[in-house]
Structure 1
Amino acid sequence: MSSLYIRSLIKNFEDFERVGMTKETLDKINSFDDNETVFSYLANKYLIWEKPFSHEILGDIRGGYSFFKGGRICPLKNILTKHLTTYTKNKAAIVWIGADGLQKVYTYQSLYSDVIKAASAILKLGVKRGDRVMLHMPNIPELIIFMLACTKIGAIHVVYHASYSSESLAERINDCKPTLVVTTDESITGGYSKMKDKVDLAFTKVEQEPKYCIVVERTGKRVHMKPLRDLWYHDIMSDEKHFFASTLPYEPHNAEDIMFMLYTSTNVAEPKALTFSYGGYLLWAYVSYMLLFDIKPTDTYWCTADVSWITGHSYLVYGPLMAGQTVLLYEDAIDLENAGKFFDICDKFSVNKLYTTPSLLKTLMNAAQKKKIFRDLKNLELVATGGEKMKEDILEWSSQKLCKNKAAFIDVYSLTEAGGAIYASVPGFGDLEYGTVSKALPTVPAVLMDTTTKKIITDFDKQGEIVLKSPFPSLAKCIYNQPGLFEKTYWKDAAGKPYFSTGDGGKYNENGNMILTGRLDDVLHIGGKRLSLVEIEEAIKKYENIKECAVINVNDEKRGEKLIAFCVLKKQLDESYHDQTVRDIRETILEEIGEVALPSEIRFSRTIPKSPDGGILRDLLKEIAVQM
């Protein structure tokens, strides 16, 4: 990067206008010496309590930690109701754009009205406090409506990504045993998918069928509706018992009660659902959103994540709605073929704050360079990215070409188990250094630990594990239905002191800013050298005919461990060229890293199996490798 380019980026960052969270507030947050005092200050400043809490933090590793013990809170009052006595009442809360171009706008008042109707309806069906409600739907407004309806009555919502199979859905239903499942007739995200048929198939595989299934009509496709079990969303919302509902009994929840569950990736066979509590989660969703994005009355904010991920929960639903933000919700995913829709949406709704991924920005860059699909977005003031490292060429193109050097860019490190972001530069405040995630956000007790000595690392350029040295309000409470597994998996001991293991590696640079080095389980010790699987993959992709690849390590009787590379070619070659291609790939690895990184086997595949968020499914590849 040129020094001129750097200065332009830093100036935009420093000049970022802050209205909602001022420097005085941030200085106040940073002035506290202990966690309990600062958490108490934040909880009283940013949340509305029906009953004050008596303790900020209680508990230990064995019994689990509780935050804001004794406090009682009405979540919907903090998310929506507080806005109904202000000018925000008639402000757009959700602007939804369907994959087919259909559009809907919900004001804070109309969103509240539909949430109360939905809450009234599911109460009538017998859903009660503590019951699980499975939401298996694409990014549509009704998904958010049911999430908020659950928080109103104290039911636990479980959002499960719409792309997963019936088998996977059945496993989760068996695990959490929901009283109610909500789905759609079809999904048109990335093409048509028969959602209701998939749910019906999952129901045939479960131990205990949910009592009810509510179906949102998305395409109007005729689907099977089982009498007494299946109900249309539009029918229950138009029922006069719920249609005229304007309020429900005001029943606050305990701050430490479970608000929602989120299934996440795991290295154990059983499904793993993290649980999050009302008080701690809502506090950090709100505070971290304000730290990262702030708010102005004229903002239009777009988070391109799927609602089903923690980024979607915290920075597409709860954080921005608590802040009174206008949230843009898009049903589809942006790819090379529909990149024009991204520009259409940004132009039409004057998006000025964007939370996305480097992959999406790369897609836009490719669309501009290869398909000539491009419009500059001068309205963008802030672009936050997360989920992967931003490469220099993507950052430079996005800043100079896409945003005409008008936007601030920040890199965010979020942790699912922590309920949201834990590292990032705060726009308008502090330092900014590209290639890093800066420093831990205020109040986050994150440090770098040596994985061998278990000592805190303060030196630069020394790799370790990012850990939390003490409990944190939004941290997951436990793994549902698996007592003790959360503590065993995440809470570790170093010289008699507990710490929370994130599993993510990092190192400080000479300025004390954090550089992420990847998952520690993707880092290997081979030939006395630490090697990252990602590093080897990047080397292989330097070979001209490689489209994508994945490297795994498997046990080997002779060597103890060996590497296998799966490669997808840009152009399929005749088998007679197979050996030469393998030799060329090996030569590329030798040139980029060295002999120590050479895989024992190089195999060719048509695809690389990936999760919905783009992560390589290495465990599945290991199973395939063993069977081949």
Structure 2
Amino acid sequence: MSDNLTALIAAELLPLRPEWISPQYQDEAAEARALDAQDPDLYWEWVAARQRWQRPWTTLRRGELGDFEYYVGGRINVADNCVDRWAEDPVVRDRPAVIWEGEPGDTRTVTYAELADQVGRLAAGLLELGVRRGDVVAIYLPNTIEAFVAVHACNRIGAVYTILFSGFSEEATRSRLEQAEAKVVIVADGSYRRGRVVPLLETLRAARASLSVQPTTIVFDRTGSGPVLTSGEVDYDRLVRAQTEWAPMEEMDPNEPAFLIFTSGTSAKPKGVVHSVGGFLVGTWANAHWQVGPEDGDVYWVAADVGWLTFPIQAVVGGLANGMTVLCYEGALDTPTDERFFEVCEKHGVTKVLAAPTVLRVLRGVDPDKRAAHPLPALKLVTAQGEPLDSETFTWAMEGLGAGVPVINAYGQTETGSTWTYPIYGVDALKAGSAGTPVPGHACAVVDAEGRPVPAGVKGDLVITRPFPTLARTVWKDPQRYRDAYFSRFPGVYATHDEAVVDGEGHLWVLGRSDDVINIAAHRISTMEIEEVVGSVPGVLEAAVVGVPDATKGTVPVAFVRLGQGAPADTEEAILAAVPRELGRYVQLATVYVAGALPRTRTGKTMRRLLRDVAATGRATGDTSAVEDVAVLDDIIALVSKPATTQEAEA
């Protein structure tokens, strides 16, 4: 084990301060862990009993990893549990469900009763447009109340929704619509980001132009510009107002598809990961319950984009399933000034906040005098997920935000549908940078290349060893890809493709991707997907993209390219422009290195591992015995030490 790794996992256990302890969650966690120790499925029965079922299940679980079902024979509806059950509760119905603020400063609030009305009407509108159970509805919206309404309107009638990140480019949007075969798209005319309007409707129109089947488009006028609608487009507000009755509530099989979300894998084509109706509801209720600890008077801000699965997990489904008041903010956290985060917290009385570690690193860089002007006395919790959280940022957040708050660092994946290892809020001691221990109902192991468990303190591959309800069930219309991607490397267990180590006290430390998928400010993307764009630029013969550490974004991509003779003089600039244009503005290359050759193995494979080492450290720190021509590697090291074409990545 390296000295750096040894130092990392040697962090001290930080006991809970008296003001952080929650007697309610202490008692519940003890009960849940006792059930889990007896049989994890008894725990999942305990969680399910806290939801509202239309018909009870007959079999709790059937099958094993790779092919399993939960709550067999039961019937349940996500919208019923997240919206209607609270709208019918005389105590909760007038509680704010969503408090919304746009980047320009406009605000709106909807209660649970008002949200139920909007959901029921939009669901009826979808039925009017021909959407039926199992049809796909794409949601191409920024962070708005309408995103909540759209998701639960789909849940109400059993439509399968897919949320498209509002930063996607035309091509990224088109490819996902094509794979999903969306029948309807719900889109905003635009969204505000850093003082500019992002033209979502314009992008969608260009993306759908080449689709063989044109989806009906529902247009929400976010900016008030009154867009002129074209053939196949309908106005969101008119559609909702025209409905005089709510759509009927479908009784859903818990194992039916609820939604699909596209995540990049180790190939260029994104995967449409499918999550189930009941599994996602039950698991995300538990996720928010343990990670955030809902309490009376909470205002919970999930400071993330609706297109990042964390937002549906923690806000749209998990947060509302717990009857919480959720804050939804549209724009950039540093617009118009870097005090915006603090101002939003103060304005709305935020008690708990979730953000990617990147956000915490940005806040740490705000002038101390500005931070001191916003003490945030109401803040009780900061929780982070989406990428590794370094101990320095953890320690700063614990003392630098609010009057000293616990920092819950959680780990999960798009495919797991929830975070599943973290210290339980108000219950567990903390470790700076650690992802805690698996919460009830989950089990994992760290294994070597042969799939054998390794001792504490030894780095290896992180695998999940038993099923749980939120784990993805398949890849959309490609079940073999699901099996190949997650169960072929280590048969019988789920491969996370992340490296990890467990310390002597059982705490899990996730070290990063073991494949070529990288995290850019909590957005996962395959380097292969970036390489495909780089390779399409005229003059580029070969490209290799790797992720390197970045103080703000966690990871940024770097490209090594080999150009052909006669390549245009502006090829490097063309590469830098092509990547955000094709994949979205959040994906920007930090550097382009033009090399005479790229290091290869004797079998002809480009050694991206060594390129990553050199780009990050300026030297090849790993095994170089397989390099076909060491002189090529030496040239790459010399190249990295010289100035290169760069572009400042936009946060």
Q: Name the TM-score class by shorter chain.
A: 0.7 to 0.9
Please say which of residues 102-111 and 189-198 is displaced more in the overlay: 189-198
1:153 corresponds to which residue?
A: 157
- Any stretches of 5+ residues in structure 1 without a counterpart? 1-5, 524-532, 542-546, 568-581, 615-628
Question: C-alpha displacement at 1:329, in angstroms?
Answer: 0.1
Aligned equivalents of 1:128, 1:317: Cα separation in 2 = 22
Question: Is this contact kept in 1: 2:276–2:472, CA < 8 A?
Answer: yes
Alignment match of 1:502 (pick from 487, 492, 496): 496
**Deviation string for 1:560-608 (max 9, x for gaps)?**
65567699xxxxxxxxxxxxxx9xx99x746x96997985442613227
User: Is residue 10 of structure 1 aligned with residue 54 of structure 2?
Assistant: no
2:261 corresponds to which residue?
A: 262
Aligned equivalents of 2:42, 2:480: Cα separation in 1 = 29
Question: Is this contact kept in 2: 1:352–1:380, CA < 8 A?
Answer: yes
Question: C-alpha displacement at 1:267, in angstroms?
Answer: 2.1
Calculate the aligned-residue CA RMSD, in Å: 3.2
1:117 corresponds to which residue?
A: 121
Relative distance call for 1:449 and 1:137 in structure 2 (3 A) is same
Relative distance call for 1:488 and 1:438 in structure 2 (3 A) is same
1:453 corresponds to which residue?
A: 450
Equivalent residue of 1:46, what SS?
A: coil
Relative distance call for 1:420 and 1:294 in structure 2 (3 A) is same
Question: C-alpha displacement at 1:26, in angstroms?
Answer: 3.7
Equivalent residue of 2:415, what SS?
A: helix
Question: Is this contact kept in 1: 2:487–2:495, CA < 8 A?
Answer: yes
Paired amino acid for 1:74? N
1:356 corresponds to which residue?
A: 355
Question: Is this contact kept in 2: 1:566–1:605, CA < 8 A?
Answer: no
Paired amino acid for 2:222? R
User: Is residue 80 of structure 1 aligned with residue 74 of structure 2?
Assistant: no
Question: Is this contact kept in 1: 2:190–2:198, CA < 8 A?
Answer: yes
Q: Percent identity?
A: 24
User: Is residue 514 of structure 1 aligned with residue 558 of structure 2?
Assistant: no
Q: Give 1:551-570 correspondences, 5 Å limit.
A: 556=600, 561-562=606-607
Equivalent residue of 1:289, what SS?
A: helix
2:481 corresponds to which residue?
A: 485
Question: Is this contact kept in 2: 1:367–1:374, CA < 8 A?
Answer: no
Please say which of residues 335-344 and 120-129 is displaced more in the overlay: 335-344
Paired amino acid for 1:415? Q
Aligned equivalents of 2:377, 2:371: Cα separation in 1 = 18
Aligned equivalents of 2:256, 2:550: Cα separation in 1 = 43
Relative distance call for 1:336 and 1:120 in structure 2 (3 A) is closer
Q: TM-score, normalised by structure 2?
A: 0.79
Relative distance call for 1:11 and 1:140 in structure 2 (3 A) is same
Aligned equivalents of 1:319, 1:235: Cα separation in 2 = 30
Aligned equivalents of 1:508, 1:411: Cα separation in 2 = 15
Question: C-alpha displacement at 1:269, in angstroms?
Answer: 3.5
Question: C-alpha displacement at 1:101, in angstroms?
Answer: 0.5
Equivalent residue of 2:71, what SS?
A: strand
Aligned equivalents of 1:370, 1:217: Cα separation in 2 = 39
Question: Is this contact kept in 1: 2:80–2:249, CA < 8 A?
Answer: no
Aligned equivalents of 1:314, 1:233: Cα separation in 2 = 25
Question: C-alpha displacement at 1:455, in angstroms?
Answer: 1.2
User: Is residue 206 of structure 1 aligned with residue 202 of structure 2?
Assistant: no
Question: Is this contact kept in 1: 2:415–2:471, CA < 8 A?
Answer: yes
Q: Give 1:427-446 correspondences, 5 Å limit.
A: 427-446=425-444
Paired amino acid for 1:236? L
Question: C-alpha displacement at 1:391, in angstroms?
Answer: 3.0
Relative distance call for 1:468 and 1:109 in structure 2 (3 A) is same
Q: Give 1:589-628 correspondences, 5 Å limit.
A: 589=618, 599-600=636-637, 601-602=639-640, 604-607=644-647
Equivalent residue of 2:287, what SS?
A: helix
Alignment match of 1:41 (pick from 46, 49, 52): 46
Alignment match of 2:148 (pick from 144, 147, 161): 144
Question: Is this contact kept in 1: 2:157–2:248, CA < 8 A?
Answer: no
Equivalent residue of 1:11, what SS?
A: coil
1:618 corresponds to which residue?
A: none
1:379 corresponds to which residue?
A: 378
Equivalent residue of 1:417, what SS?
A: coil
Question: C-alpha displacement at 1:399, in angstroms?
Answer: 2.6
Question: Is this contact kept in 1: 2:460–2:499, CA < 8 A?
Answer: yes
Equivalent residue of 2:238, what SS?
A: helix
Question: C-alpha displacement at 1:103, in angstroms?
Answer: 0.2
Relative distance call for 1:535 and 1:307 in structure 2 (3 A) is closer
Aligned equivalents of 1:55, 1:551: Cα separation in 2 = 55
Question: C-alpha displacement at 1:107, in angstroms?
Answer: 0.4
Q: Give 1:197-596 correspondences, 5 Å limit.
A: 197-210=202-215, 212-227=216-231, 229-239=232-242, 242=243, 244-245=244-245, 247-335=246-334, 338-369=337-368, 374-405=373-404, 407-450=405-448, 452-457=449-454, 459-492=455-488, 498-521=492-515, 556=600, 561-562=606-607, 589=618
User: Is residue 31 of structure 1 aligned with residue 30 of structure 2?
Assistant: no
